[in-house]
RNA sequence: GGCCCGUUCGUCUAGGGGUUAGGACAUCAGAUUUUCAUUCUGGUAACAGGGGUUCGAUUCCCCUACGGGCUACCA
């Protein structure tokens, strides 16, 4: 069993945009598959037709693509030998009924005719007694199902078209043990389990049946999913057992949850809105099935995050390589990854560190790569530039920013003459001598024969000293005259890049504006 | 309520029967860049509590507390 080919799957349900917790689950699946030379499959679990949100399937595909963690098999990435990969399609192809029937025939499942209303009634009744209702070994004897009704009666009801579900018959007194790669042995007594619905009255299997059948038929070797599935894992073990597949049952790994940054609880869309960070990889708009209203949401991509920075951050939310290295490319993550080093406890998401990860990855990009991202951002606000100039801007700006759009926003002065001059600096540094000095610098620079940063700096200093001025005291003022901003990249490199004419024009403008 | 899972600096975490409990983000303070938003150096800061086991527990066991998840004909 240990030498079996690794096949893992990411199996989201298309009920809305994929959020970052889902992306992390996909990532860990991807990393394990690549590390072990296995397959990574995307399977769409759309057995709940009511909650289906049109467009979310495409969103999931686009998100995985942007993140660079593409499945090599499944919806949106090419069919493999286990097609179809959408559970509604598999249901239509009849893959589930035979297994439900197999369970019924073996006495491990049964028909139940109780209506939703009747069950609600039961729940209320139990609640009144201070107990929780469960459809289980005790209560099933007093409910309407094929265990209490006569064979004829059951037949009659089914043939008359009465709605029914198929439920698993949980044994009364057994201990289910399962080994989780992350948590070790987990033991649950069957008296704590209830007779979960396997087949719904609308003809669809539930997650529990579909998931087990699909993992078996798709030859899945490892099930890597969120911790919210841990309580139902024993049920799945039982299903594998009753279907006769326990010897090829996948290994389980239940991931810790991603928690909100403040307080406690699972990270949700609301937290992002409230605290001002994205919860989704991509921006978009999907229509909520219940309200019928389109809901928009913002993504990491649109906020200027690089996919590899985003992925790097996600990888470290609940995993670490055991070394002090924190910055990893996707390929390096593949090499370093192991499920054994995934931690057990939930991790609070940290938006600040996420920015830091992004910054680190941004710095690893070449100037040309950054320019490629910068040019369209400029174009979007009507600024045209050359690749060569954009690349130089990136070279000077990249140590100063965390996001690609900051390359533009904080580097506006490379493209436009300043409209405003940093008021604090003016207030602090501008005095009666200033205009005279700037005018002299302007003339000195206009006379420059070599337009290189080092020479320009020397010229500037010489001009200052010739006028008995400490160069340090006027440098920032000069910067403001040139760019409008009190801070920025290395001053004279910036001056060199801006060029002789631009500098002359801007100094002229500054003289005509400041102090007037 | 019941069941399951968890608990090391504010946050992500390393470690693990005897350590000055390590790193990173954030934060604070210095330095340097005769400007700055970069960089460097340093500081503050943690084993939830109580019982065991042990020569010795933060580490192993139990209990409590706290947190989270599940408890649907949702996934």
Q: Examine the pLDDT at A368 and tell me if it is beyond 70.
A: yes
Which of A51-65, A197-211, A259-273, A387-401 shows the lowest per-residue confidence on average (mean pLDDT)?
A259-273
Long-range contacts of range A230-234, CB-CB < 8 Å, 24 or more positions apart?
A230/A180, A230/A183, A230/A186, A230/A254, A231/A188, A232/A196, A232/A208, A233/A178, A233/A180, A233/A186, A234/A176, A234/A178, A234/A186, A234/A188, A234/A190, A234/A193
- The residue lying closest to nucleotide B36, measuring its CA against C1', is A487
Alpha helices in A381-470 (DSSP H): 387-397, 404-409, 423-429, 434-446, 453-466
Mean pLDDT of A175-204: 94
pLDDT at A155: 96
| Nucleotide minimizing C1' to CA distance for residue A317 | B12
Provide the whole-model pTM. Answer: 0.94
Whether A358 CB is under 7 Å from strand B: no
A11 CA to B75 C1' in angstroms comes to: 10
User: Helix, strand or coil for residue A17?
Assistant: coil
List of residues 6+ apart from A367 with CB closer than 8 A: A391, A392, A394, A395, A398
Query: In whole angstroms, how far apart are CA A240 and each of A17, A96, A208?
Result: 31, 14, 11
pLDDT at A324: 92
- Rounded to whole angstroms, the Cα distance separating A281 from A307 reads 9
The DSSP letter of residue A401 is -
Q: Examine the pLDDT at A361 and tell me if it is beyond 90.
A: yes
User: Helix, strand or coil for residue A225?
Assistant: strand
List of residues 6+ apart from A324 with CB closer than 8 A: none
Whether A139 CB is under 7 Å from strand B: no
Nucleic strand B contacts from chain A, 88-117, CB < 7 Å: 114-116
User: Helix, strand or coil for residue A126?
Assistant: helix
pLDDT at A331: 97
Nucleic strand B contacts from chain A, 4-23, CB < 7 Å: 11-13, 15
Q: Examine the pLDDT at A1 and tell me if it is beyond 50.
A: no
**Mind listing the pLDDT tens digit for each residue in A206-234?**
999 999 999 999 999 999 999 999 999 99
Whether A162 CB is under 7 Å from strand B: no
pLDDT at A472: 81
Nucleic strand B contacts from chain A, 292-331, CB < 7 Å: 316-318, 320, 322, 324, 326
Q: How confident is the model at residue A250 (pLDDT cuts 50, 70, 90)?
A: very high
Q: Examine the pLDDT at A513 and tell me if it is beyond 90.
A: no
Q: Name the nearest CA neighbour of A136 among A210, A187, A185, A193.
A: A193
- Rounded to whole angstroms, the Cα distance separating A257 from A346 reads 5
Top mean pLDDT of A282-296, A300-314, A501-515 is at A300-314
**Mind listing the pLDDT tens digit for each residue in A294-325?**
999 999 999 989 999 999 999 999 999 999 99
Beta-strand pair A197-199/A165-168: antiparallel
> Chain B bases under 7 Å from protein CB?
1-8, 10-15, 22-26, 34-39, 67-75
- Rounded to whole angstroms, the Cα distance separating A489 from A474 reads 17
- Rounded to whole angstroms, the Cα distance separating A198 from A220 reads 20
- Please list, residue by residue across A446-460, b when 16 or more beta carbons sit within 10 angstroms of its beta carbon and e when fewer do: eeeeeeeeeebbebb
Query: In whole angstroms, how far apart are CA A317 and each of A232, A283, A350?
Result: 24, 22, 9
Which of A6-15, A90-99, A452-461 shows the lowest per-residue confidence on average (mean pLDDT)?
A452-461
Could you tell me if A251 and A215 are in contact, meaning their C-beta atoms sit under 8 angstroms apart? no
Which of A9-18, A181-190, A369-378, A471-480 shows the lowest per-residue confidence on average (mean pLDDT)?
A471-480
CA angle A485, A490, A491 (to 5 degrees): 60
A114 CA to B71 C1' in angstroms comes to: 19
Query: In whole angstroms, how far apart are CA A505 and each of A417, A493, A501, A509?
Result: 9, 18, 6, 6
Could you tell me if A9 and A252 are in contact, meaning their C-beta atoms sit under 8 angstroms apart? no
List of residues 6+ apart from A101 with CB closer than 8 A: none
Average pLDDT over all residues of chain A: 93
A99 CA to B20 C1' in angstroms comes to: 62
User: Helix, strand or coil for residue A443?
Assistant: helix
A341 CA to B18 C1' in angstroms comes to: 26
List of residues 6+ apart from A304 with CB closer than 8 A: A358, A403, A404, A405, A406
Told to judge if A269 belongs to the known catalytic residues of this protein, a careful annotator would answer yes
Whether A119 CB is under 7 Å from strand B: yes
Nucleic strand B contacts from chain A, 486-515, CB < 7 Å: 486-491
Mean pLDDT of A395-416: 91
Whether A250 CB is under 7 Å from strand B: no
Whether A177 CB is under 7 Å from strand B: no
- Rounded to whole angstroms, the Cα distance separating A35 from A58 reads 27
Nucleic strand B contacts from chain A, 45-64, CB < 7 Å: 45, 47-48, 51
**Helix %, strand %, coil % of chain A (to 5):** 45, 10, 40
Nucleic strand B contacts from chain A, 415-454, CB < 7 Å: none
Set A269, A303, A461, A509: catalytic member: A269
Q: Tokens standing for A179?
A: 């080994």
The DSSP letter of residue A133 is -
Q: Examine the pLDDT at A131 and tell me if it is beyond 90.
A: no
**Mind listing the pLDDT tens digit for each residue in A322-346?**
999 999 999 999 999 999 999 999 9
- Rounded to whole angstroms, the Cα distance separating A236 from A245 reads 11
Mean pLDDT of A356-374: 93
| Nucleotide minimizing C1' to CA distance for residue A211 | B75
| Nucleotide minimizing C1' to CA distance for residue A167 | B73
Could you tell me if A298 and A323 are in contact, meaning their C-beta atoms sit under 8 angstroms apart? no
- Rounded to whole angstroms, the Cα distance separating A454 from A491 reads 11
**Mind listing the pLDDT tens digit for each residue in A408-434?**
999 999 999 998 888 888 888 888 888
Nucleic strand B contacts from chain A, 181-220, CB < 7 Å: 183-184, 186-189, 192, 194, 197, 200-202, 204, 206-208
Q: What percent of chain A has pLDDT over 90?
A: 79
A319 CA to B6 C1' in angstroms comes to: 15
Top mean pLDDT of A26-30, A415-419, A506-510 is at A26-30
- The helix (run of H) or strand (run of E) holding residue A242 is helix A233-242
| Nucleotide minimizing C1' to CA distance for residue A12 | B75
Q: Examine the pLDDT at A516 and tell me if it is beyond 80.
A: no
Domains of chain A: 7-73+214-257 (3.40.50.620), 97-200 (3.90.800.10), 269-364 (1.10.1160.10), 365-410 (1.10.8), 417-516 (1.10.10.350)
């Amino acid at each position: 069993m240990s030498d079996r080919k690794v096949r893992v799957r990411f199996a989201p349900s298309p009920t809305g945009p994929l959020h970052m917790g889902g992306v992390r689950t996909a990532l860990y699946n991807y990393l394990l598959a690549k590390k072990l030379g296995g397959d990574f499959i995307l399977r769409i679990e759309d057995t709940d037709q009511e909650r289906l949100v049109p467009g979310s399937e495409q969103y999931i595909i686009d998100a995985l693509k942007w993140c660079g963690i593409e499945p090599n098999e499944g919806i949106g990435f090419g069919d493999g030998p286990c097609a179809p990969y959408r559970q509604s399609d598999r249901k239509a192809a009849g893959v589930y009924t035979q297994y439900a029937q197999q369970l019924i025939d073996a006495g491990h499942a049964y028909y139940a005719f109780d209506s939703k209303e009747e069950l609600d009634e039961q729940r209320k009744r139990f609640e009144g007694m201070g107990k929780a209702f469960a459809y289980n070994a005790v209560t099933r004897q007093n409910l309407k199902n094929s265990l209490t009704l006569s064979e004829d009666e059951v037949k009659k009801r089914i043939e008359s078209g009465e709605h029914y579900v198929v439920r698993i018959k949980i044994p009364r007194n057994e201990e289910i043990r399962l080994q989780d790669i992350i948590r070790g042995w987990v033991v649950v007594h069957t008296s704590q389990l209830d007779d979960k619905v396997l087949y719904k009255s609308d003809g669809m299997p539930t997650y529990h049946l579909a998931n087990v059948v699909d993992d078996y038929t798709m030859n899945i070797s490892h099930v890597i999913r969120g911790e919210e599935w841990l309580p139902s894992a024993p049920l799945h073990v039982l299903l594998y057992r009753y279907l006769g597949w326990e010897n090829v049952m996948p290994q389980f790994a239940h991931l810790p949850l991603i928690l909100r940054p403040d307080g406690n609880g699972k990270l949700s869309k609301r937290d992002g809105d409230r605290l001002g960070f994205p919860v989704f990889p991509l921006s978009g708009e999907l229509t909520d099935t219940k309200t019928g209203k389109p809901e928009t949401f913002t993504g990491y991509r649109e906020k200027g995050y690089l996919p590899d920075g985003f992925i790097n951050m996600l990888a470290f939310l609940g995993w670490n390589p055991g070394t002090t290295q924190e910055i990893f490319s996707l390929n390096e993550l593949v090499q370093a990854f192991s499920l054994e080093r995934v931690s057990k406890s939930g991790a609070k998401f940290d938006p600040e560190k996420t920015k830091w990860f992004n910054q680190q990855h941004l710095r690893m990009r070449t100037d040309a790569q950054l320019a490629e991202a910068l040019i369209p951002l400029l174009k979007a606000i009507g600024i045209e530039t050359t690749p060569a100039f954009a690349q130089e801007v990136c070279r000077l700006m990249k140590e100063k920013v965390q996001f690609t759009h900051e390359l533009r926003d904080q580097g506006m002065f490379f493209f436009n003459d300043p409209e405003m001059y940093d008021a604090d600096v003016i207030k602090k540094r501008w005095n009666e001598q200033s205009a005279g000095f700037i005018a002299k610098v302007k003339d000195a620079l206009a006379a420059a024969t070599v337009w290189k940063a080092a020479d320009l700096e020397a010229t500037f200093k010489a001009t200052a000293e010739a006028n008995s001025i400490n160069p340090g005291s006027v440098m920032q003022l000069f910067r403001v005259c040139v760019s409008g901003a009190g801070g920025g990249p290395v001053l004279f490199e910036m001056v060199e890049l801006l060029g002789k004419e631009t500098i002359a024009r801007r100094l002229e403008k500054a003289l005509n504006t400041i102090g007037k």
